[in-house]
Structure 1
């Protein structure tokens, strides 16, 4: 970099006279940023690219409004008094160095925890300690290093911005210039021996040149910027051949009119940009539509218990929650809305939101935030505001919980794009050289046409449009996949593992019988009150069965995963769970699932559950056994083995008395042997197994056990359609491959006509977006047909 340019931002620094560490800076702001990086050993920021920073503006006093706690409270996404989270829109995010420095904010400012950049939306989600750093200090730091956030005070919304209309403006300029240049080119198209036209022909040519200037230097600037950044980083991206073609057309056309050799190709140039931008506009609108469908119409089947005015309890969907409602949040349940704690001991785990697993204790009257998970019993809360489904989507997709899945198809596309661009440049060079020696008049058209027609845009579009549309279709069928990689993983699985209770059994259809000593009124009340706190499927079934009793507050509540529940009320204690947990031993082997009870260390009896399996279970397993290894891992005893052996295919492996850690180890062991595992559980006791599996599906039956461990939330009523969803995922991969084939065929045909000099650049520019549109149309229609078949025939053979 020259001595007269700023080391940080690249602007002219010849008049500033600011030198530090043998480097020139245009202002004290850039010098300060460099000092910050230098002190924190982050000068490798400048190794990513030269002069990556933006010129910091004067910010003193600009953010004084962030001293107002009411404004700050409105801006924050999460605030528990210590940990605060905010999502800021930063318009200047534009490259890899931006991502790098914004995700290393913790090294620049003590108190900043995680910072995650969403490059597409140009946002950064920052978690910070409010006792160490204030929001004002954080925003001033961002501004000082060249990443000033956009904060709207009109309605206290962060990142609220007008729709980016730059593409529309560029398209309009290109269209206007294209129309006028075509009009001015008529004398060239239709040579008429007219003195008047001959006299103004040169004027028309210079007018065409004038109209081409905003097209090249404004409408085409995105292609130039992208190509320049790619080349500077040593990458041949998709826009390099397009930018090169534009430059060649413009220079050749300008040379012709300057030396009066002809009219040039300004009409082709303007037409090229117009149709390229039109294709990009179409892609953007279609993708935004799919994103809208995904973000705001994919409601999760999460239920929550509402306490009515008369004290009765009903299960409602989260999007039916209204301000002022009283909700019951059980042990291990997610808090779906911002609310006020009314009753109970709240121990809230906000790791779902912040990534920190330390539970926070709250007392009556404290505010609780959506996304927290309650531990240590149940609580009652009053709703402050209705649920925002987009917020739940954001939590579910939080990068903190994303597993490192193989993304083979994305990698394949990147490799194709790089090799494709290199191949295109090579073909353009060879074919142009050939025509220079055979017919130089065709050389320019051949060079430009090859660069334009052979674009891998269609290849790049096949995957996101196929998966995006399928995610939307799955959502409408109550099968909610976290992201596109889940569909890819589902297509590769070879082993399916099922939990038993609450997964292949239907809780609402289970019959229960009691055997033992008669419980007193106080014992029944204590039993009902204890079960009310638990979210385990057996606890919920038993709670619904028992007669109404006075719900009493508990002095202590403990839930031991895979074993049972223990609670105390005044001088009375109760244990509910497995026989060993309550201290009961019997010589008889249990034939059915049972929940045992002891009060004050005295065994009282047991509730025996007679399972009702989900509708279509036997047919589903018989269909799945043709292609997959089937396993049932159950935490219950082997009493149901005889029934399951009769009901399920003989190849199904059955394992009972499995603790959560046993399930996890089983999955790890078989993955090490090459198995690709899909795990289906209730999302509560199976969290570890769901997280370890290649695809984890949590089955939901009006239970609010929304967990980041799962990749899919499936409504319980869709259980019998599992095979159909897996087959649809495999079909999606086939659709993508067919999209690749179609794109490859198009490029081969187009290159043939371009290399042989039979294709004009403007025709190539029209065909290029049409190819992209055709691929989008193909993938959209194919996935819609797939969705229609899935809806009509949920279990295709």
Structure 2
């Protein structure tokens, strides 16, 4: 009699079978989870993958410590205005159904606004309201549907280390067992016929059996678990043939010694698992070494303005900021630290963290959290915690504000792996059937060798190692990409669009002239104070050249994106911006960029900027023009159109007086038949950067962190952009060559395996070597590409 399976988790129901809604469940917990899902519109969970759930545990009293506010403060990333954000480890995440239900937690409780799963790390980041809900309630909710979090205050940041140690323990057990089994196999190898072999051979064989038990049931358990979950979900993953090979060797060897048919294949079995784990350990260590995250977390190009002991302003990168430092946060800047507000009125937008765009107002003495965006005016704050680069990285990749830019390379890898597994199983069965009729003693060796030698691990490694190493190389050249998917999209670009001011122009050698009525001293002070709060490149340039050192406190500051800024103090106001915003006369005689000024609504004059273009710009556009369509989108007037035409290739699109929404619409129109790269400064271009297939924000010494972009490029490296795009295309070629290399290797290996010329233990040695060869091949190729970039 076959035991029925639980409709929710897939376990055997046995005698505890519970019938509900014409379905069978193994316990009341699974039945309750089913009721929760169906009553909240989550029944699609069972359509994605049948029986993919986890049985819930009773954990209510276990998490009473989450009633303590001090402990909650240590665990949550954000706690403001009745909203908290927390990242939790969920060890039971294992399939696409888990991801789907965990990213739909908002349908289980109205207080949850957003949940985002990181599948490789098995973590979930949840944003929720604390009114009538709490962290403890969230943990209990997760536990009730079978996804109990792992929370340990002491080990909270060391979960990855535990996983690494687990692999080391298994590798140690496998190595110990393999060595002993080989030792006990020596008399069999050398066919010793003396009395001691005949007398003790059964003892030796049973000792080999005993040493194989921890290999099969402990060291190799991950392969069995992965294969079982894949088969239960009707998916053939790459661990299915490996698990089948291990199981076949173990059963056949056990039968051999039980019926005294021979010594079995325990040497091959233990050697197989040992070399498999050794290969996995090598892959893990190598990928950790190539990890690009350390590079761009350590040198994330976000600068802040620090006030030194003399109250002078200096621009420094955020990793150089220490606890207790005083810094300025200007309009539209992201707050990179937890800090205390010292001066100014904070109007903070936490939508990058919570998804809620409603501004939060704070007064002097109140706490501000990292990730908020100051909307209006300049703030002076004191740092409470040094910057967490991993937090900024997480913020950069937050799906709350990110546009889903679809990628296909991972899908291609998975598709190849699935077809590969089906092909290998078919070849193994056909080859075994052939040898059963011709030479039965060879059948098991052939079957096992085919399953082992043709593992598609090498195919699965090609993309992550190639792209991961490329990210590291790009980072060394101050080109910081959000993730590996950006490389793939960059390789498909056929159109490049550039912003003008702050992107292809530089403020380092700018000449500024003033035309109009002279400003009074009080107007200059108010003007400089107003400019101090803005991060626009023109505002920063003008702020630096004004001679007045006096700074006043603004009563009000407003910045109208694409138009200008306004500051008020003591019933006086000053406006700086475009002619239409300020009320000046936009004369066509101005061939350079101009910023207009009015005081108390009376037009005063204009500052004319003699734009200086970045060095090497002509070569940049000449190189790009050979292979890409080019365009310039500028919010300035067309006064410099003729000068731009001198350095731009023919047929380059030139559009001026573009508002931020105009830029976004233009990019959207191009995408109907083009793959578009947008290069801007991250200010007025945020919408266009997010809309484009790849958005690159160019950073100088003042940086506004724009999570909308896909990459950040140091301004000094702008001329290398064609080389970066070319390297992205080459990276895709390296991956395809790796696929071809792996295919050739497997064809040759399968020939020797099918013809019975390859022992399983030799196949087990060759399998990790094939993976290592792919890693070496991709690493060498990408490093060669990196050297070419360095030469340039």
Residue 765 of structure 2 is aligned to residue 763 of structure 1: no
Distance 1:205 1:65 in 2: 53
Tell me the secondary structure at the aligned position of residue 63 of structure 1: helix
Instruction: Say whether the 8 Å CA contact 1:272–1:761 is kept in structure 2.
Output: yes
Distance 1:296 1:148 in 2: 33
Residue 170 of structure 1: how far off its partner (Å): 1.9
Residue 642 of structure 1: how far off its partner (Å): 2.0
Q: 1:50 to 1:647 in 2, by over 3 A?
A: closer
State TM-score, norm by structure 2: 0.95
Alignment of 1:571-590 (within 5 A): 571-585=571-585, 588-590=588-590
Q: Deviations over 1:513-552 (max 9, x none)?
A: 1111111111111111111111111011000010133222
Alignment of 1:378-457 (within 5 A): 378-457=378-457
Instruction: Say whether the 8 Å CA contact 2:295–2:476 is kept in structure 1.
Output: no
Residue 483 of structure 2 is aligned to residue 486 of structure 1: no
Instruction: Say whether the 8 Å CA contact 1:510–1:610 is kept in structure 2.
Output: yes
Q: 1:404 to 1:40 in 2, by over 3 A?
A: closer
Q: What corresponds to 1:202 in structure 2? A: 202
Distance 2:356 2:703 in 1: 21
Q: 1:379 to 1:319 in 2, by over 3 A?
A: same
Distance 1:692 1:145 in 2: 37
Q: 1:240 to 1:17 in 2, by over 3 A?
A: closer
Q: 1:120 to 1:239 in 2, by over 3 A?
A: same
Distance 1:46 1:728 in 2: 43
**How well do the aligned residues superpose, as a CA RMSD in angstroms?**
2.3
Distance 1:482 1:542 in 2: 32
Alignment of 1:56-135 (within 5 A): 56-135=56-135
Instruction: Say whether the 8 Å CA contact 2:292–2:469 is kept in structure 1.
Output: no
Alignment of 1:366-765 (within 5 A): 366-585=366-585, 588-672=588-672, 674-765=673-764
Alignment of 1:194-273 (within 5 A): 194-273=194-273
Q: 1:43 to 1:621 in 2, by over 3 A?
A: closer
Instruction: Say whether the 8 Å CA contact 1:491–1:726 is kept in structure 2.
Output: yes
Residue 48 of structure 1: how far off its partner (Å): 4.9
Q: 1:620 to 1:465 in 2, by over 3 A?
A: same
State TM-score, norm by structure 1: 0.95
Residue 171 of structure 1: how far off its partner (Å): 1.7
Instruction: Say whether the 8 Å CA contact 2:292–2:471 is kept in structure 1.
Output: no
Instruction: Say whether the 8 Å CA contact 2:296–2:475 is kept in structure 1.
Output: no
Residue 385 of structure 1: how far off its partner (Å): 1.1
Q: What corresponds to 2:786 in structure 1? A: 787
Residue 648 of structure 1: how far off its partner (Å): 2.8
Q: 1:55 to 1:715 in 2, by over 3 A?
A: same
- Range that drifts further, 205-214 or 688-697: 205-214
Q: Deviations over 1:273-304 (max 9, x none)?
A: 11111111111111223337547754211111
- Range that drifts further, 291-300 or 614-623: 291-300
Q: 1:17 to 1:714 in 2, by over 3 A?
A: closer
Q: Which runs of 5+ in 2 are unaligned?
A: none
Distance 1:730 1:314 in 2: 40
Q: Deviations over 1:161-217 (max 9, x none)?
A: 734422222222222221111111122211122122112222222222222222222
Q: 1:296 to 1:702 in 2, by over 3 A?
A: closer
Q: Deviations over 1:237-264 (max 9, x none)?
A: 1111112222222222222222222222
Q: 1:156 to 1:268 in 2, by over 3 A?
A: closer
Residue 680 of structure 1: how far off its partner (Å): 0.6
Q: Deviations over 1:460-499 (max 9, x none)?
A: 1111001001111111211100011111111111111111
Q: What corresponds to 1:356 in structure 2? A: 356
- Range that drifts further, 390-399 or 244-253: 244-253
Tell me the secondary structure at the aligned position of residue 391 of structure 2: helix
Q: Which runs of 5+ in 1 are unaligned?
A: none
Q: 1:177 to 1:127 in 2, by over 3 A?
A: same
Distance 1:331 1:567 in 2: 12
- Range that drifts further, 120-129 or 281-290: 281-290
Q: Deviations over 1:346-400 (max 9, x none)?
A: 1111111112222212222221111111112222111111101111111111233
Q: 1:154 to 1:459 in 2, by over 3 A?
A: closer
Distance 1:447 1:647 in 2: 66
Q: Deviations over 1:683-713 (max 9, x none)?
A: 0000111111111000111223111110001
Instruction: Say whether the 8 Å CA contact 1:524–1:549 is kept in structure 2.
Output: no
Distance 2:500 2:790 in 1: 26
Q: Deviations over 1:439-466 (max 9, x none)?
A: 2222221111111111111111111001
Instruction: Say whether the 8 Å CA contact 2:93–2:147 is kept in structure 1.
Output: yes
Instruction: Say whether the 8 Å CA contact 1:54–1:146 is kept in structure 2.
Output: yes
- Range that drifts further, 444-453 or 456-465: 444-453
Q: 1:586 to 1:772 in 2, by over 3 A?
A: closer
Distance 1:439 1:398 in 2: 60
Distance 2:323 2:629 in 1: 48
Residue 616 of structure 1: how far off its partner (Å): 0.9
Instruction: Say whether the 8 Å CA contact 1:150–1:158 is kept in structure 2.
Output: no
- Range that drifts further, 459-468 or 567-576: 567-576
Instruction: Say whether the 8 Å CA contact 1:151–1:159 is kept in structure 2.
Output: no
Distance 1:333 1:243 in 2: 53
Q: 1:577 to 1:278 in 2, by over 3 A?
A: same
Residue 789 of structure 1: how far off its partner (Å): 2.0
Q: What corresponds to 2:306 in structure 1? A: 306
Tell me the secondary structure at the aligned position of residue 493 of structure 2: coil
Q: Deviations over 1:84-108 (max 9, x none)?
A: 0001112222233332332222222
Instruction: Say whether the 8 Å CA contact 1:342–1:381 is kept in structure 2.
Output: yes
Q: 1:626 to 1:686 in 2, by over 3 A?
A: same
Distance 1:225 1:20 in 2: 29
Q: 1:420 to 1:55 in 2, by over 3 A?
A: closer
Q: 1:434 to 1:96 in 2, by over 3 A?
A: same
Residue 651 of structure 1: how far off its partner (Å): 3.8
Q: What corresponds to 2:149 in structure 1? A: 149
Residue 10 of structure 1: how far off its partner (Å): 5.6
Tell me the secondary structure at the aligned position of residue 444 of structure 2: helix
Distance 1:253 1:26 in 2: 36
Q: Deviations over 1:706-740 (max 9, x none)?
A: 11110001111111211121111112112112211
Distance 1:24 1:458 in 2: 41
Tell me the secondary structure at the aligned position of residue 311 of structure 1: coil
Q: 1:406 to 1:34 in 2, by over 3 A?
A: closer
Q: 1:490 to 1:23 in 2, by over 3 A?
A: closer
Q: 1:16 to 1:521 in 2, by over 3 A?
A: same
